[in-house]
Amino acid sequence: MPEEVLREAAEQMLDWHGSGLGVMEMSHRGKEFGQILAEAEADLRQLLAVPSEFHILFMQGGGLGENAIVPLNLSRGGVVDFVVTGSWSTKSYKEAGRYAQARVASTNAGNGHTDVAAPAQWTLSPDAAYVHLCSNETINGIEFQELPDLAALGSRAPLVIDFSSHVASRPVDWSRVGLAFGGAQKNIGPAGLTIVVVRDDLLGHALPICPSAFNYRTVADNQSMYNTPPTWGIYVAGLTFKWLLAQREGGLSGVAAMERRNIAKAELLYGAIDGSQFYVNQVAPAWRSRMNVPFQLRDESRNQAFLDGARDAGLLQLKGHKSVGGMRASIYNAMPLEGVQALVAYMREFERSHA
Ligand SMILES: *Cc1c(COP(=O)(O)O)cnc(C)c1O
């Protein structure tokens, strides 16, 4: 989280703009919260350049909730194609199988989720209701640098992307997307808010068993207020959107500015890993994530010493996910370049003193 956003939320915690109420105490149907919601939606639309034929929904249930909610709304119980590139898309595939005929169009399990086949090599089903992929695999550190153009591959299926862990870190090519979902907790705000951006023609096809509160048509028709939305999460996300819109970098602003910074951060860290004898990143360079950088010490017996020293240097949360081990630096939007510079300096010093 950007520190400015946290400070502003703290300052307004007990009294939002002189209203005498904190956001958590407001009626979600009152005019104050109505303004917060409308601004958050408009700012997100501007930030991500979301075209008018897409709805922006503020939901609950998280990324894993959407793994069920998407097939409940879009699959019509038919065939759905999955591009499996790591832990998250594997979870999405398994969950969808409860509601639809989930198929694997491509998987990189064979190479340990370190490289991805080109879209032209995927086996897309002619009758798929949609194609799902995770545009940034948080645990494996794999990111799509470009979304596939399914129409150019002869598919009529809409593309569904899980962009939880890199939303707002780079622009989205909406001409290639039917639906995007993401939990807010990585790049946008507190846990508990889920963002869904869905094209209008994909609404209204939910299975009868779809819970009403998770029916996209119902949520859209009620401006995300069919039931009480996660008001605090929407408020803090809204502050983050304003912070993002105000960012400037080399003549760029908003998400383009963030992208410029994120490229510089990622290049610095991958450069340090590749240039060392001590650390290694297994992901094929073309697929390396700018947000989540997993790396291993070549001598894994030094893992604990590395983490202890990092903690002493104020570098926290570097332990890799238990499924891949090693280390992982999540360098989300709010992580400044100085944070990555500090990590790289620590890595070099650790290598020097342990070589
Ligand atoms: C963190 C993350 C999720 C999280 O799902 P929750 O249900 O909100 O815990 C989903 N997908 C991806 C790619 C993630 O990084």
91 is catalytic: no
Ligand 1 touching residue 60 (CB < 6 A): no
Residues of the domain holding 284: 249-354
- DSSP summary character for residue 17: G
Angstrom distance (rounded) from CA 12 to CA 22:
7
Q: What whole-number distance in Å separates Cα of residue 139 and Cα of residue 137?
A: 6
Q: pLDDT at position 355, please?
A: 84
Residue partners of 319: CB distance under 8 A and separation at least 6: 307, 327, 328
The one-letter code for the residue type at 163 is F
Task: Write the DSSP symbol of residue 223.
Answer: T
pLDDT tens column, 184-216: 999 999 999 999 999 999 999 999 999 999 999
Q: How far apart are the first and last CA of the chain?
A: 35
Find out whether the beta carbon of 63 lies less than 6 Å from any atom of ligand 1. Answer: yes
CA angle 48-6-137, nearest 5°? 45
pLDDT of res. 32:
96
Which residues touch 50 (CB under 8 Å, ≥6 apart)? Answer: 44, 56, 174, 197
pLDDT tens for the 355 residues of the chain, in order = 999 999 999 999 999 999 999 999 999 999 999 999 999 999 999 999 999 999 999 999 999 999 999 999 999 999 999 999 999 999 999 999 999 999 999 999 999 999 999 999 999 999 999 999 999 999 999 999 999 999 999 999 999 999 999 999 999 999 999 999 999 999 999 999 999 999 999 999 999 999 999 999 999 999 999 999 999 999 999 999 999 999 999 999 999 999 999 999 999 999 999 999 999 999 999 999 999 999 999 999 999 999 999 999 999 999 999 988 999 999 999 999 999 999 999 999 999 999 8
* Whether the CB of 85 sits within 6 Å of ligand 1: no
User: Are 66 and 140 part of one and the same domain?
Assistant: yes
Residues listed for the chain: 355
What distance in Å separates the CA atoms of residue 47 and residue 37, rounded to the nearest whole number? 15
Any catalytic annotation for residue 31?
no
* Number of domains the chain contains: 2
Nearest CA to ligand 1 atom 5: 63
**Which token pair is 208?**
């009868």
Whether residues 41 and 93 share a domain: the answer is: yes
CA of 145 to the centre of ligand 1 (A): 19
Catalytic annotation present for 162: yes
Residue closest to 139 by CA, chosen among 85, 199, 206:
85
pTM beyond 0.85, yes or no: yes
Catalytic residue among 16, 88, 122, 287: 88
Q: Cβ(163) to ligand 1 under 6 A? A: no
Among 245, 279, 307, where does a domain finish? 245
- pLDDT tens sequence across 252-271: 999 999 999 999 999 999 99
Mutate to test the pocket of ligand 1, among 59, 64, 85 (most ligand atoms within 8 A of CB): 64
Q: Are both 28 and 149 inside the same structural domain?
A: yes
**179 lies in the same domain as 195:** yes
Domain identity same for 141 and 194: yes
